A and B are shown apart, each in its own frame.
Chain A
Amino acid sequence: MIMSKRSVIPFGPQHPVLPEPIHLDLVLEDEKIIEAIPSIGYVHRRLEKLIDKRDFKDYLYVIERLCGICSFMHGMGYCEAVERVFDTEIPDRAKYLRMIWCEMSRIHSHLLWLGLLADAFGFDALFMQCWRMREKVLDMFEASTGGRVIFSVNTIGGVRKDMSKDMLKGFVNEFNSMEKEIRRLTDVFLHDYSVETRLRGLGILTKEDALRFGAVGPMMRASSIAQDTRKTGYLAYNDIDFDIITSDECDGYARCFVRINEIFQSINIIRQAVEKIPDGQISVPIKGNPDGEAFVRLEQPRGEAIYYVKGNGTKFLDRVRVRTPTFTNLTSLINILPGSELADVGLQILTIDPCVSCTER
């Protein structure tokens, strides 16, 4: 028998399958991966330290730039934390508006991920179609907030822009027609033979491992753990009827399944929110400087994110800390890679839906 030879292959930081830089040293035995050693820091900016130079109101515009995909949710998480320090309750209408924008962010993020996944397994037409659908969500964002990527629509104490009745109704109609088209696309992901062969059995993360490595978000739910931070009832999620989507297959297909169903779930949440949205103010004024600390959890498209702020009574905060979902999911990634083949690495990395820029900040 010929002894297999070990070799180390660098993966990234510049790699065609990754839009963002992450570097892995892959230890291979022939084509099989034995070990994956990550090295990060290519997108590190030290954004949290910038709190020394920006006051707590200005910092909102910095923290939005933590990540361009969930920019709305980062801004919102920070605002919620500061509002908690001030002990301020935002108006109900603002809660609903934030919820609608959150779910729109989830839809666009999941469509973006589906597109990148299709690109990674070499189905270019599907990639293009997913991104075509995503542009429709971005158009709605642009109509309601004025931006495609960075919205700056949150403010401490509420939101800065309101949506009219007609606009909300228009959005629901748009989503109704989009739903059929998205269903056509997602049927390809779930039922196409060639797609299934790529995704089934890819990167299995058992329930025990998911708990042990602290996986979050769709990654965790695909390993049959029914946990969703939205169920803790922040914003107005308590008034909305939705189920946690899980799958017990634990592989890449399951993660795809969970995210696809979350798109339809989000559309459903938006529909309910538009029906229930109350009239009234969209923000309350805040006075003084934050003094004290607060801690907020919320569910991002990639999983649970945690925001912590600590104020000292001046306009400069002592500390801002964010724990992002990809950071926790990286541990799972490093542990599902061994045993798979080199050609599957790109796809494996994508199944955790990595967002490097918010991980490294």
Chain B
Amino acid sequence: MSKMKKSPWIMHYDGASCNGCDIEVLACLTPLYDVERFGVINTGNPKHADILLITGGINTQCESVVKQIYSQMAEPKVVVAVGICACNGGVFKDCYNIKGGVDTTIPVDVYVPGCAARPESIIDGVVKAVDILEEKYENMKKKGGKAH
């Protein structure tokens, strides 16, 4: 990893996951992996967040919640799908209640596979997300958008 251009604030939402990836996302924040040393902070407020980490597939009940959280986040924003369920439904793909991965509901920028996704790969996903975030920011500037 070269250097982080930004201290990204992440927000974590549990779609229809089994909890496994959620505790791994939390494990990233705690002493062994400690992503806070890169300036990554977990926030509970979607308006503060740059990166949205979603674990688990999307079911009919949580669909609107995911859309709502995504729409509340300020531009530029990046979505990371953590775990195979978030990527394409995983082991629950055949369940009648599961629509599929997160990309059935909101656009996803980074896919982190694994069951459960290991903290190392989640961190790798966040690092990739920071690059995409930077790219989106540059694009917004070029368009003469509101970014400053």
Interface residues of A (CB under 8 A from B): 13-17, 19-21, 41-47, 49-50, 53, 61-62, 65-69, 71, 112, 115, 127-129, 131-132, 135, 138, 148-150, 355-358
What per-residue 1/0 map shows which CB atoms of B42-61 lie under 8 Å from chain A? Answer: 01111000000000110101
15 contacts between A and B (CB under 8 A): A13-B65, A19-B12, A19-B14, A19-B23, A21-B14, A42-B16, A45-B98, A49-B95, A65-B92, A68-B20, A131-B31, A135-B32, A149-B21, A357-B14, A357-B17
Total number of B residues with any Cβ neighbor in A under 8 Å = 39
Instruction: Contacts A13-B65, A66-B18, A128-B31 given; indicate if A21 touches B59 (C-beta within 8 A).
Output: no
Instruction: Contacts A20-B22, A135-B32 given; indicate if A65 touches B94 (C-beta within 8 A).
Output: no
**B106 part of interface (Cβ distance < 8 Å):** no
- Whether B16 and A68, one on each chain, are in contact in the complex, defined by CB atoms closer than 8 angstroms, is no
**B19 part of interface (Cβ distance < 8 Å):** yes
B7 vs chain A, min Cβ distance (A):
18
Q: How many pairs, one residue from A and one from B, have CB atoms within 8 Å of each other in the complex?
A: 120
Excluding A15-B44, A135-B27, 18 further A-B contacts by CB distance (< 8 Å) are A14-B46, A14-B69, A17-B44, A19-B12, A19-B22, A42-B61, A43-B17, A44-B16, A45-B57, A47-B92, A50-B94, A68-B19, A69-B23, A129-B31, A131-B30, A132-B30, A135-B32, A150-B20
Instruction: Contacts A44-B97, A68-B23, A150-B115 given; indicate if A21 touches B30 (C-beta within 8 A).
Output: no
A354 vs chain B, min Cβ distance (A):
11
Give every chain B residue within 8 A of A49 (Cβ-Cβ).
Answer: 95-96
- Whether B91 and A43, one on each chain, are in contact in the complex, defined by CB atoms closer than 8 angstroms, is no
- Whether A20 and B20, one on each chain, are in contact in the complex, defined by CB atoms closer than 8 angstroms, is no
Give every chain B residue within 8 A of A62 (Cβ-Cβ).
Answer: 91
Give every chain B residue within 8 A of A20 (Cβ-Cβ).
Answer: 14, 19, 22
**B9 part of interface (Cβ distance < 8 Å):** no
- Whether B59 and A45, one on each chain, are in contact in the complex, defined by CB atoms closer than 8 angstroms, is yes
Partner of B20 from the list A16, A43, A71, A127 (CB cut-off 8 Å) is A71
- Whole-angstrom CA separation of A355 from B31 in the bound complex: 23
B140 vs chain A, min Cβ distance (A):
26
| In the complex, residue of chain A having the shortest beta-carbon distance to the beta carbon of B36 | A128
In the complex, chain B residues 43-86 whose Cβ is within 8 Å of any chain A Cβ = 43-46, 56-57, 59, 61-62, 65, 69
What per-residue 1/0 map shows which CB atoms of B1-44 lie under 8 Å from chain A? Answer: 00000000000111111111111101100111000000000011
Instruction: Contacts A14-B13, A61-B91 given; indicate if A42 touches B65 (C-beta within 8 A).
Output: yes
A124 vs chain B, min Cβ distance (A):
10
- Whether B56 and A148, one on each chain, are in contact in the complex, defined by CB atoms closer than 8 angstroms, is no
- Whole-angstrom CA separation of A140 from B16 in the bound complex: 28
